[in-house]
Amino acid sequence: GTDQNIWVPFFSNESISTTAQTVLRRAFYDELHALRGLNPAESEGSADLAMKARIISYSIKAVSYNVLDQAREFSLSLNVELEITKKGQALPLWKGQIQGLKQYPANSNLALQHNAEEQALDAAARIIAHKFISALEESY
């Protein structure tokens, strides 16, 4: 519609991840701009749309093993609580929880393992952003 900019705050973070809030915020700005043409607002007060967000959990678990009983693949799970409101309205346009899951391979090299986890976090964040956009559009 006529809404042209959005404010996505840093997510409050109740998880163990120190980078999840930054990755999620970037994913939301990227996806909202790419898919719906929304631009970042300079501040919450100047935004046509404003979000509130909270990271509820961030977890990693092994999902498959090799013949030596070593982890072969991991699954990263990210759960967030989101709310979006339109400027001048008290009630939110949408409010709910969304989960993003992404599997990634294990690696004995710690640097490569860390890189794979970071890529999985970025993918899970983008999945959450897509699910949010879909849920918001379905609520109309």
Q: Which pTM was predicted? A: 0.91
- Under DSSP, is residue 130 helix (H, G, I), strand (E, B) or coil? helix
- Each residue of 51-69: pLDDT tens digit? 999 999 999 999 999 999 9
Q: What are phi and psi of 97, to 5 degrees?
A: -115, 145
- Each residue of 4-49: pLDDT tens digit? 899 999 888 888 888 999 999 999 999 999 988 999 999 999 999 9
Cβ(72)–Cβ(105) under 8 Å? yes
- Each residue of 63-99: pLDDT tens digit? 999 999 999 999 999 999 999 999 999 899 999 999 9
User: Beta partners for 6?
Assistant: 40, 49
Q: What rounded mean pLDDT belongs to the chain?
A: 93
With a CB cutoff of 8 Å and minimum separation 6, the contacts of 133 are: 31, 32, 35, 36
Residues in the chain: 140
Q: pLDDT value at position 2?
A: 62
Give the CA dihedral 84, 123, 135, 17, nearest 10 degrees. Answer: -40
Q: Which two tokens stand for residue 34?
A: 């790419």
